[in-house]
A and B are shown apart, each in its own frame.
Chain A
Amino acid sequence: MRSFILRRLLLTLPVLLGVVTLVFSFIHLVPGDPVQIMLGEGAQAADVEQLRQKLGLDQPVLTQYGRYLTDLLSGNLGVSFRFGEPVAQIILSRFPATLQLAMLSLAFGALLAMPTGVLAARKPGGWLDRTLTSVTLLGISLPNFVSGPIAIILFSIMLGWLPVSGRAGPAHFILPAVTLGASLSAILTRMVRAGMIEELQEEYIKTARAKGLSETRVLLKHALKNSLIPVVTVLGLQFGTLLAGAIITETIFAWPGIGRLTVQAINSRDYPLVQGCLLVIACTYVIVNLLTDLAYGLLDPRIKYQ
């Protein structure tokens, strides 16, 4: 197990280096002079040169890359052009809000998916299964930039139950978390359903029923437990999708997280901040995938790491 963890860690390092290199190269993809674009057309030549030097863009690309890596190792992501503060500090102040939202969405998705998936799998092809399958298909196809505004119209404007935007109290979490977690919940429901149908055909289920165990115990204690392994994989993989989805959800609900910060940074052409946000989201995604991978062994003792 220890050698597996070590090997997975070693395999992740080149990917992280690749991500860092790609994020570094983004500023060189800007058509024209990135400094001129940041400052606008009316900027003085002296200001342009000063910012160019400050960002290190007057140096050869390899020197810039070396400096970027060295700075990164010491936690320095540069200085935001818009806020005038260190990028790392700004991201640190916003990241907890995004993590909170992502975790809540994940919890919402998983908690809704498990009972619905189990219910659908009890009688495959029955009316309940067909209804739930259709609803989940709609859920998968409903983008959060459609479901978000519709949820605001229904629950904030028409019914007046929930706040439209912001992060002032627990009620503010509900709409963004449900919007972000809705399609995840639909995907997970289908995963749980498929896994349960497969498990319910196994011999050990027949044995459990023959022993006279209650149907609830057979479903929840035996079948569900074993069908959850692929679900955990999807949960891990979907965490990254949630982080990316947070960019849109946070924009809709004015949620003060890293997603909204990314959009604000893009709109104000604050390239160091955009790079920092992208780097943090991508690295979080890589690390969560690594942790998901490592969790397999804990969840399924049948998996032997060679």
Chain B
Amino acid sequence: MNAPTLLQEIGTNRLALFGALVGGLLICTAVLAPVVAPFAFESQNLPLRLQPPSAAHWFGTDELGRDIFSRVAHGTRISMLVGFSVVLVSSLLGLLAGSLAGYYGGWFDEVLMRVVDVLLAFPGILLAIALVAFWGPGLEKLILALVAVGWVGYARLVRGQILKVRELDFVKAARSLGASDAHIILRHLVPNIIQPVLVQASIGMAGAILAEASLSFLGLGVPPPLPSWGAMLNDGRSHLFDAPHLILFPGAATMLAVLAFNFLGDGLREILNPRLRGRSALCG
């Protein structure tokens, strides 16, 4: 399926359209955060601390009197930056490792699969927590930890797909015409297996946003005063009684972002595999 047809299909699939629109809105907010935000995200105003939502402060203020709307808007930047970086680097690494393992097999495939087994033996986010715990907090370390965890899924997916495609006639034809291995992998195999990778990337984006927020919630993510939705939620926990709005807005933003990219992935899966229509991929 080419790009214009894919876009057209997204327009007719409700899940994908919702995901694409909200995802687009989040990306615009991330890019335009300094314009959208009425205040600087670090600007404190102690006399106005813990104010409920008002005309001046749409989402209210936090315990240091900072404008929550501005911080949520800037937090979108962190979420999108982490999400896109993790998905991009993980998928490229996964494509490289999975293609080589699937195409050549042999010892590289054996070693890769054992590494994958060990990394998948850690439940979800635990390995990322472990890596950040030992590396220390920071945006770059956080991205690196999530990549270290994220590439495994792509590698396994790509390897499986390559194993299916590499024995097809068009690959044999290319080989008999004297095409090099690199040419076969890049020009024939990868374009034929890229669709499930796109679906995984969209759902992976939701996972990366969630993981960043989780780590920041635990104090292992983005260091203050940078505004991360997870860190804002953690700050809000000590004011559940007197200022519940501190958790409502960053919580809603996190949920919306995760929902949007999950919807987009689910919709893409339906579009690219029409047999799945009406059966959500999120069920497993």
Chain A residues with a Cβ under 8 A of chain B: 14-16, 18-19, 21-23, 26-27, 29-31, 124-125, 133, 137-138, 140-143, 145-146, 149-150, 152-153, 157, 187, 190-191, 193-194, 197, 230, 234, 240-241, 243-245, 247-248, 251-252, 262-263, 266-267, 271, 274, 278, 281-282, 285-286, 289
- Which A residues are CB-close (under 8 A) to B233? 145-146, 149
Query: Are A145 and B213 within 8 A (Cβ)?
Result: yes
Q: How far is the CA of A273 from the CA of B55 in the complex (A)?
A: 49
Query: Are A281 and B247 within 8 A (Cβ)?
Result: no
Query: Can you pick out 10 interface pairs between chain A and chain B where the beta carbons lie within 8 Å of each other?
Result: A18-B114, A137-B263, A146-B254, A191-B284, A241-B123, A244-B123, A251-B218, A263-B218, A274-B134, A285-B123
- Secondary structure class of chain B's binding surface, majority of residues: helix
User: B34 on the interface (CB 8 Å rule)?
Assistant: no
**Choice from B114, B123, B136 contacting A31 with Cβ under 8 Å:** B136
- Which A residues are CB-close (under 8 A) to B279? 194, 197
A193 to chain B: closest residue by CB: B283
CB of B235 to closest CB in A, whole Å: 11
Among B121, B124, B206, B254, find the residue whose CB has the most chain A CB atoms closer than 10 A. Answer: B121
* Known A18-B114, A274-B133, A278-B126; 13 more pairs at CB < 8 Å: A16-B121, A27-B134, A31-B136, A124-B278, A140-B282, A146-B254, A149-B233, A234-B284, A244-B124, A267-B219, A281-B123, A285-B123, A286-B121
User: B196 on the interface (CB 8 Å rule)?
Assistant: no
CB of A18 to closest CB in B, whole Å: 3
With an 8 Å Cβ cutoff, the count of chain B residues facing the other chain is 49
Query: Are B213 and A143 within 8 A (Cβ)?
Result: yes
- Which B residues are CB-close (under 8 A) to A243? 123, 126
CB of B120 to closest CB in A, whole Å: 9
A18 to chain B: closest residue by CB: B118
Query: Are B254 and A137 within 8 A (Cβ)?
Result: no
- Which B residues are CB-close (under 8 A) to A252? 237
Q: How far is the CA of A143 from the CA of B253 in the complex (A)?
A: 11
Query: Are A143 and B240 within 8 A (Cβ)?
Result: no
CB of A120 to closest CB in B, whole Å: 11
User: B60 on the interface (CB 8 Å rule)?
Assistant: no
User: B262 on the interface (CB 8 Å rule)?
Assistant: yes
Query: Are A187 and B283 within 8 A (Cβ)?
Result: yes
B261 to chain A: closest residue by CB: A141
Q: Which of B104-129 contact A (CB under 8 A)?
A: 114-115, 117-119, 121-126, 129
- Secondary structure class of chain A's binding surface, majority of residues: helix
CB of A254 to closest CB in B, whole Å: 11
Query: Are A18 and B123 within 8 A (Cβ)?
Result: no
- Which A residues are CB-close (under 8 A) to B161? none
CB of B41 to closest CB in A, whole Å: 20
**Choice from A29, A142, A194, A245 contacting B134 with Cβ under 8 Å:** A29
A156 to chain B: closest residue by CB: B240
CB of B272 to closest CB in A, whole Å: 19
Query: Are A143 and B254 within 8 A (Cβ)?
Result: yes
Query: Are A278 and B262 within 8 A (Cβ)?
Result: no
User: B94 on the interface (CB 8 Å rule)?
Assistant: no
A26 to chain B: closest residue by CB: B134
Query: Are B131 and A137 within 8 A (Cβ)?
Result: no
B280 to chain A: closest residue by CB: A190
Known contacts A18-B118, A26-B134, A137-B259; is A247 also within 8 Å of B218 by CB?
A: yes
- Which A residues are CB-close (under 8 A) to B234? 145
Query: Are B220 and A157 within 8 A (Cβ)?
Result: no
**Choice from B121, B135, B220 contacting A18 with Cβ under 8 Å:** B121
User: B255 on the interface (CB 8 Å rule)?
Assistant: yes
Q: How far is the CA of A153 from the CA of B245 in the complex (A)?
A: 11
B252 to chain A: closest residue by CB: A146
A133 to chain B: closest residue by CB: B280
Query: Are B123 and A15 within 8 A (Cβ)?
Result: no
**Choice from A157, A190, A193, A262 contacting B129 with Cβ under 8 Å:** A262
Query: Are A248 and B262 within 8 A (Cβ)?
Result: no
Query: Are B254 and A244 within 8 A (Cβ)?
Result: no
User: B76 on the interface (CB 8 Å rule)?
Assistant: no
